[in-house]
Structure 1
Amino acid sequence: MNILIVSDAWLPQVNGVVRTISTVRAELEAMGHRVEVIGPDRFRTVPMPTYPEIRLALGAGRRLWSMIDALRPDCIHIATEGPLGFAARRYCLKRGKPFTTAYHTRFPEYVRDRAPVPLALSYAVVRRFHKPSSAVMVATPSIENDLAARGFSNIRRWTRGVDTELFRPRAKGFLNVPRPISLYVGRVAVEKNLEDFLRLDLPGTKMVVGDGPARAELQQKYPHVVWAGAKHGEELARHYAEADVFVFPSRTDTFGLVLLEALASGVPVAAYPVPGPLDVVDGSGAGCLDEDLKRAIETALTIPAQRCRDYALSYSWRRSAEQFLSNLKPFG
């Protein structure tokens, strides 16, 4: 099948949406499908306000429509509610083509954290965007229930996976810092609620792997934290495996791929009991969820590494790709 994915989040961006799409794309291609991704890299772009690392496509309309016509896809999946997503949505509605969408990001909450926009207004826009979709793909039951309560329909599950060969337990000791090492991996941005972790009085070392618009300010404010910057591939995997506990302070993620990457590395998770961690970690015995984040960290440090690894092995990117494929709506 000839599959087209349109996404405002795409390479060279580094985030969970890009990792999900690129990994599932590789799985689908290994299954014999052709997958094309149209992202901002094909257009003139401007930096997103308050988040310059993300580029937004300009004037995507006619050019995007011509690209879609030339590709002649069998089905279209719209991954994001951005300029490209809206342009692809208009194309499908105008041409009478079915399409699917995904709810990767709690966009209304992200907007609220940056501007005085009421949640009800943002959710009305997002709900309208997804309403014509044949399937709104979500990663977890918590997000599905939340969207259903807000009037969304046609919701279908699309789980996530983890590369258990890259992310695996390794010998510790390549970082010469005091233990225990409490690690955060991800974007350094306001919506990640990182200061809840950074301000804690913890023994050992707090480490942040990642970059983002809030890094300069937070690095100046918390100089005793080890700021390792963005890491990729083998280097990223080594930093995961070096940690003693993985701390996930976000309250707005829809899943959190980093949770699985940490668990696959044999590192227990400490997080708040909110969507994402509730769906991935709760009841697994591989982490601790608590409204007292310090207590969650202290408890997680007692969890055996093998329990975390065994749990992560149940997540497969092939299963994720098969689920994605079953949710698609081919043209009639």
Structure 2
Amino acid sequence: MAAADTAAMNTSSLSVALITETFPPEINGVANTLGRLADGLRARGHRIQLVRPRQGCDQGRGHDEQLLLTRGWPLPGYPGLQWGQSSMHKLLRSWQRQRPDVLYIATEGPLGFSALRAARRLQIPVVSGFHTNFQQYTGHYGVGLLTRALTNYLRWFHNRSQMTLVPSVSQQIELQRRGFERLELLARGVDSQLFHPARRCDQLRASWGLQEGDIAILHVGRLAAEKNLALLSKSFQALQQTHPQRQLKLILVGDGPQRASLQQQLPDAVFCGLQRGEELAAHYASGDLFLFPSLSETFGNVVLEALASGLGVVAFDQAAAAQHIRHGHNGALAGAQDEQGFIQAASDLLNDAEGLRRARLNARQHAAGQGWAAIVELFEQHLRSAMQPLAELPAGRTQH
């Protein structure tokens, strides 16, 4: 390709089809990430066609050039969400009328599979995203025998795209070990103006039953088995025992299938349910210590949101925490699977008031530099790279 053609390609607007089962206003890390990427591409002058299952809020809504709705099935454990059905013929008709330059497939279910097939038939380049460790969820839901089969399918699926974007170095290493090919890093950002220590709210803390000097121990996320919430409960109870002189309150923001059982186990905890926007930001900023015991994350957007809100974050040394936390500087880390190390890290932060104060200041300072603009720009570069002719792809990057 001539230099002039390359320059034109790097400045021309793209037509991108984004295929996903979840998207804002749904509340989860994948939806948040995709909303940011789509908005960022539009702001850079690109055209986005969103392809997703029809949800309950879409009653009476029709298709347009920017939205293609497909049929779906109810998704167990996720009330109100739909699992996209295979829609190959609908996709073929749409993309034959208005051909995208490139596809970004964010979910690997029947809808994503049909998009992959349609793209191969029409010879449209595909970038896939590895957003969720579904292969790790099987053990939490009593179907551990499916782990190997699901891993094999995910590897087969992603290896048929031009590249797969992963959010963290630890995820990249793990997938490479399992035979996934052509992996590229695309981290996550945070809106550090929304998530800000200045949103701390004394009235909100008072509603939680806290007075000045009391400690709000916060967790934000889906209340589900794959989030390792048994450790959250164990950690809080251990902190109460080792710090009897402190008034500690556990605050849980989010909802999910384990909420009822957690409310029985933790009768004194405050369950705030789902929160959005400025209300969510106020909940973060009104906390003091953030416990994130999950071991199943590909990234963990809530870690960055907690750091931006100026919290002392305790997490395992993987995914977002591994990339953004320096132990003892802006948070605390424990080795993967080291439950006692996790509890000890939280206890150490509570023991050292000055250390916790410094960690919270450093957390905010670090997260303030993790905006979305550079990530969207890199996303665009990855999409353009996938559009290169086969002859110009780097060694080993071939279509399947």
Match for residue 250 of structure 1? Answer: 294
SS in 2 for 1:117: helix
What is the match of residue 280 of structure 1?
324
Aligned to 1:330: 387
Q: 2:100 aligns with which of 73, 77, 80?
A: 73
- 1:306 alignment partner in structure 2: 361
Which structure has more helix as a fraction of its residues? 2
**Across the two proteins, how many residue pairs are aligned to each other?**
332
Aligned to 2:125, what secondary structure does the other structure show?
Answer: coil
Q: Partners of 1:191 and 1:237 in 2: how far apart?
A: 24
Aligned match for 1:112, one of 125, 135, 139? 139
* Partner of residue 233, structure 1: 277
For structure 1, the 5+ residue unaligned runs are none
TM-score (norm 1): 0.94
Task: Report the CA distance shift for 1:163/1:284 in structure 2 as closer, same or farther (over 3 A).
Answer: farther
Structure 2 gap ranges (5+): 1-13, 55-68, 241-247, 390-400
Higher relative contact order (CA 8 A, sep 6+): 1
- Alignment partner of 1:8: what SS? coil
Aligned pairs for 1:257-268 (under 5 A) are 257-268=301-312
1:93 has 2:120 as partner: yes
Alpha-carbon distance in structure 2 between the residues aligned to 1:135 and 1:102: 8
1:97–1:331 Cα contact (<8 Å) kept: no
2:202 to 167, 173, 197: 173
Contact 1:52 1:213 in 2 (8 A): no
Deviation at residue 298 of structure 1 after TM alignment: 2.4
Q: Determine the C-alpha separation between the residues in 2 that align with 1:163 and 1:12.
A: 16
Alpha-carbon displacement from aligned partner over 1:214-260 (angstroms, at most 9, x marks no partner)? 22222233222110000000000000000001110100101111111
What is the RMSD of the two structures over their aligned residues, measured on CA atoms? 1.8
Residue 103 of structure 1 corresponds to 130
TM-score of the pair, normalised by structure 2 = 0.79
Please list the CA deviations of residues 132-151 of structure 1 after superposition, one character each: whole Å capped at 9, or x if unmatched: 11111011111111111111
Deviation at residue 280 of structure 1 after TM alignment: 2.8
Aligned to 1:187: 222
Query: Residues 281 and 53 (structure 1 numbering): CA distance in 2 closer, same or farther, change over 3 Å?
Result: farther
| Aligned residues with identical type, % of pairs | 34
Deviations 1:178-204 (A, max 9, x none): 321111111111111112112331341
1:116-166 superposed Cα distances (whole Å, 9 cap, x missing partner): 324332211100010111111011111111111111110001011000110
**Runs of 4+ residues deviating >4 angstroms:** none
Distance 1:215 1:60, change over 3 A: farther
Q: Which has the larger radius of gyration?
A: 2
